[in-house]
Structure 1
Amino acid sequence: MKYHSYSIENEHCKGKQRSFITYNSKKLVIIGMIGISLLVGWRYWSNHHNDVMIVASAVWEHVNSVLTDDADQQQLDLAQHFSDSNDNNYGVLASLGLTHNYINKGDFATAEKQLQKTLNKTHEKNLQTLINLRLAQLQLQQNNVDGALKTLNVIKQKKWMALVESIRGDAQVFKDDHQAARAAYEKALKANPPQALQELVHIKLNNLSS
């Protein structure tokens, strides 16, 4: 009798398992298909992304070779088109190359616009900081002191503070505020900058005293 009761309970449990599997089989299949689709989609995107980067790398080598100080307008247009078409590190490199070219030609306004565009091409914090530092220097070059100070205020990473304060001091010199300049230079020194920057900041401080 106990054996018969056990058999009935066993069959009842198996029946519940079959019902559960039958009821949930469609869900399980759908979940499985979604998982497979995501995997296939990821692999497709990854392969496509790699292909795009390989092509971008090859084109970048050509663009870089023509971005010389004596590059003509057609070559600059080629580099600009490449930069505008690539929101990746190669696009950033092309844009920085164009910026360098414009600076060497004394076209600081165009160089500044180029750097502003470059900021939108990368989410890498250190690269954004380097671009902002160069942008602040360019703004000072054009006597846009308030613009330079505003750009410097965007930078929050502590490891860049020595450079930030050094340039901030330069901006205060432009404003003829030597007291604020001295305070900025002293902050730069307290940030433990590399030896070369230390020496440069000391020279700036000495110039304030003279």
Structure 2
Amino acid sequence: MEVYSNDNQRDQTEVVKQFFANNGKALAIGAVIGVAALVGWRFWVNHQQNDAQASSERYQQLTTMLKADNPASIQALASFVEQDKNSYGALASLTLAKTFVDKNDLPNAEKQLVLGLQDSSDQNLQAVIRLRLARIQSELKTPDEALKTLDAVKGDNWTGIAADIRGDILLSKGDKQGAAAAWREGIKSEVSPALKQMMQTKLNNFS
């Protein structure tokens, strides 16, 4: 039994030696690739974190400097929206859109919000942008576009607000029944008491 055991160990040793003789180069290359991939991944993560921090600092700087009567500050933030394709770019588009609304420049407000939708994959942030965009599109007399924008709003948290806006848009189109149905849906959803009361008041106007 002992002789068999020793022979078996020697056989295994020879097999291992032969395996590394035949595959040693490939294993070495694989190890190098594995290490390189790990290093590359860590570099990418650090790069992403540094980029996010830089975007955050730049966003805060530009929004602090933003003034409606200062075209240079508006242009600086608009450039940031076009260049920073991330959530900070989307947040900047919201800020810039409000500035344009305050200036009664609705076409540019719409343009900024459309850009903002391309900059973030965050569902809640996209919902906020779409809700504001739908309002502006309604003011621009493009109610069908506004309704399409609302259709893309995702998340139960936004159902009530979207229903309220939908009701207003449908009413602007002369669809009183559709508006009333939208507000009834909104009242059933999880919304603030103030918004629920507002929609109920709108419904009461039809009675």
Query: TM-score by structure 1 length?
Result: 0.90
Instruction: Give 1:28 shift.
Output: 2.3
Partner of 2:10: 11
Query: Does the Cα contact within 8 Å between 1:162 and 1:188 map onto a contact in 2?
Result: yes
- The aligned amino acid for 1:36 is V
Query: Does the Cα contact within 8 Å between 1:64 and 1:94 map onto a contact in 2?
Result: yes
Query: Does the Cα contact within 8 Å between 2:81 and 2:115 map onto a contact in 1?
Result: no
- The aligned amino acid for 2:45 is S
Match of 2:104 among 85, 103, 106: 106
Query: TM-score by structure 2 length?
Result: 0.92
Structure 2: how far apart are the matches of 1:47 and 1:102? 36
Q: How many residues align?
A: 207
- The aligned amino acid for 2:61 is H
Structure 2: how far apart are the matches of 1:54 and 1:193? 34
Structure 1: how far apart are the matches of 2:7 and 2:95? 81
Name whichever of 79-88 and 156-165 sits farther off.
156-165
Structure 2: how far apart are the matches of 1:167 and 1:120? 22
Structure 1: how far apart are the matches of 2:198 and 2:162? 14
TM alignment of 1:44-123, pairs within 5 A: 44-70=43-69, 72-123=70-121
Q: Structure 1, residues 86-121: CA drift from partner, whole Å, max 9, x if none? A: 112221222111101000011111101110011000
- The aligned amino acid for 1:38 is A
Query: Does the Cα contact within 8 Å between 2:62 and 2:76 map onto a contact in 1?
Result: yes
Structure 1: how far apart are the matches of 2:41 and 2:6? 49
Q: Structure 1, residues 129-170: CA drift from partner, whole Å, max 9, x if none? A: 111111111111112111111111112423321111111111
Query: Does the Cα contact within 8 Å between 1:67 and 1:97 map onto a contact in 2?
Result: no
Match of 2:181 among 173, 178, 183: 183
Partner of 1:205: 203
Partner of 2:32: 33
Q: Structure 1, residues 167-203: CA drift from partner, whole Å, max 9, x if none? A: 1111111011111111111011111312121111112
Q: Structure 1, residues 23-44: CA drift from partner, whole Å, max 9, x if none? A: 2322322222122111211222
Identity of aligned residues (%): 34
The secondary structure found in structure 1 opposite 2:119 is: coil
Structure 1: how far apart are the matches of 2:46 and 2:4? 60
Structure 1 residues without counterparts, runs of 5 or longer: none
Structure 2: how far apart are the matches of 1:182 and 1:127? 28
Structure 2 residues without counterparts, runs of 5 or longer: none
